[in-house]
Structure 1
Amino acid sequence: MIINVSKAKANLSKLIDMAYHGEDVIIAKNNLPLVKLVIHKPKEKRKLGLLSGQIDIPDDFLDENEEINDMFYGSNLNQY
């Protein structure tokens, strides 16, 4: 259903109910579709440790790499 803003203001509760029950509700301005009214679906909470034991992170993962530091800061980094 496409409905203009002025009619949508007067029938908002009805439009919300229609969207809740799965009907497409599009609000238009000057007969130009602008927005679609959709129901809010809460995101599921993520579970900590979901990939535990499935990914191997090396012990030196957070160690600095001299070659990469030289690329970012230049090879003169250790002179100061």
Structure 2
Amino acid sequence: MRTFNMHEAKTNLSKLIDETVNGGQPFVIAKAGKPLVKVVRIETEAEKPRRRIGFMKGQLKVPADFDTMGADEIADMFEGKSK
């Protein structure tokens, strides 16, 4: 595993991280020759596919009277009438 001193790691941090993320090996940052931290790539789950709006377009039919369907029955219920 590669080891970099603090100054060298600070100077090249972006490059070192890019290399590690893109399949490179983890690396260690040391201070005065003593290893302090190990930098490794984090394995993340693949993103879930987003739900598509309108994916059933053309497969369902909404009746023309949808807004008024059952209006009489509902009105009777509010007025206390039963059939």
With normalisation by structure 1, the TM-score equals: 0.47
Q: Which has the larger radius of gyration?
A: 2
